[in-house]
Amino acid sequence: MRILHVIPTKIKSSSQDQISIQWDDGHLSVISLRTLRNECPCAGCQGETVLLKTYLPNPQPEMPGKYVLKGAQQVGSYALQITWGDGHATGLYTWEKLRSLCECEECLKRT
Ligand SMILES: [Zn+2]
Ligand SMILES: [Zn+2]
């Protein structure tokens, strides 16, 4: 198994609804904001597993701005914290997570 130790060298919003990430191994990722938000790794979005029981979050009504990228800030050397248009900002996207969400042609073909 290959352990991924790539880090992004450049992250930018390449258009209204997607971001692009340049990795230090040369790969260029594109991820739609919709995918990014739906895959938000925080407990509020993905639920929490406590003592082998999984607690799913209550469904939240969709707020305006849910898929709008307001800001992104690097956390330490391992993750990106993203702030959304509806004020949600608890998701920490690790580099591995971001890379696994890549929607470039090459990665889509592989799945
Ligand atoms: Zn979340
Ligand atoms: Zn890719």
In this structure, whether the domain defined by 8-110 belongs to CATH 2.40.128.30 is answered with no
> Order of strands, edge to edge, in the sheet holding 69-75?
69-75, 79-84, 92-94
Task: List pLDDT tens digits, range 37-51.
Answer: 999 999 999 888 888
Token digits of residue 79: 């993750």
- Give pTM, 2 decimals: 0.85
How much distance in Å is there from the Cα of 101 to the middle of ligand 1?
A: 15
How much distance in Å is there from the Cα of 50 to the middle of ligand 1?
A: 18
34 by DSSP, 3-state: which? helix
Task: List pLDDT tens digits, range 47-85.
Answer: 888 888 888 877 777 788 999 999 999 999 999 999 999
d(CA 64, CA 47): 22
